[in-house]
């Protein structure tokens, strides 16, 4: 009897979005990192420091900035960090569900 070749399944790292607590593949989320200069977006996901992950949706960023992000990074967000992250989140399209509930 001939053996079938075994397909090798590559491990895909999973991370949890700080805003909505959804577990997704690491590459689909945006990494934020705590550095000596403050909290920054890490586009390459290679910077050293404590990290947290978020979706590219404004709702997740809004929830995270209310306190979950600071807890995940184990730091207090400074005013300049908060402003920088809010400005970055404005580049994402508005959530349809948020707009409909406001009407």
Query: What CATH number should be reported for the domain holding residue 75?
Result: 3.30.1230.10
pLDDT tens digits, one per residue of 36-68: 999 999 999 899 999 999 999 999 999 999 999
Domain span at residue 62 reads 14-93
Indicate whether 6 belongs to any domain.
no
- Would you state the pLDDT for residue 97? 55
Residue 88 within any structural domain of the chain: yes
Does residue 9 sit within a domain? no
Q: How confident is the model at residue 3 (pLDDT cuts 50, 70, 90)?
A: confident
Q: How far apart are CA 12 and CA 90, in angstroms?
A: 29
Give the total number of structural domains in the chain.
Answer: 1
Residue 74 near residue 49, CB atoms below 8 Å: no
Residues 6+ positions from 94 with CB-CB distance below 8 Å: 58
With 0.85 as the threshold, say if the pTM is over it.
Answer: no
The four Cα atoms 9, 10, 12, 13 give a dihedral, to 10 degrees, of 120
| 46 inside domain | yes
| 3 domain-assigned | no
Look at residue 45 and tell me if it is in a domain.
yes
- What is the residue-averaged pLDDT of the chain? 88
* Tokens 């306190």, residue located: 67
Separation between Cα atoms, residue 18 and residue 65, nearest integer Å = 10
- The set of long-range contacts for 11-16, using a CB threshold of 8 Å and a minimum separation of 24, is 15/53, 16/53
């Amino acid at each position: 009897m001939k053996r079938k070749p075994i397909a090798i399944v590559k491990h895909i790292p999973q991370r949890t979005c700080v805003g909505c607590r959804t577990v997704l593949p690491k590459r689909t989320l945006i990494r934020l990192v705590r550095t000596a200069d403050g909290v920054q977006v890490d586009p390459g996901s290679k910077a050293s420091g404590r990290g947290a992950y978020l979706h590219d949706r404004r709702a997740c960023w809004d929830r995270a900035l209310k306190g979950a992000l600071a807890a995940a990074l184990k730091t207090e967000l400074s005013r300049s960090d908060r402003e920088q992250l809010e400005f970055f989140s404005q580049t994402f399209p508005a959530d349809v569900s948020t707009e409909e509930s406001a009407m």
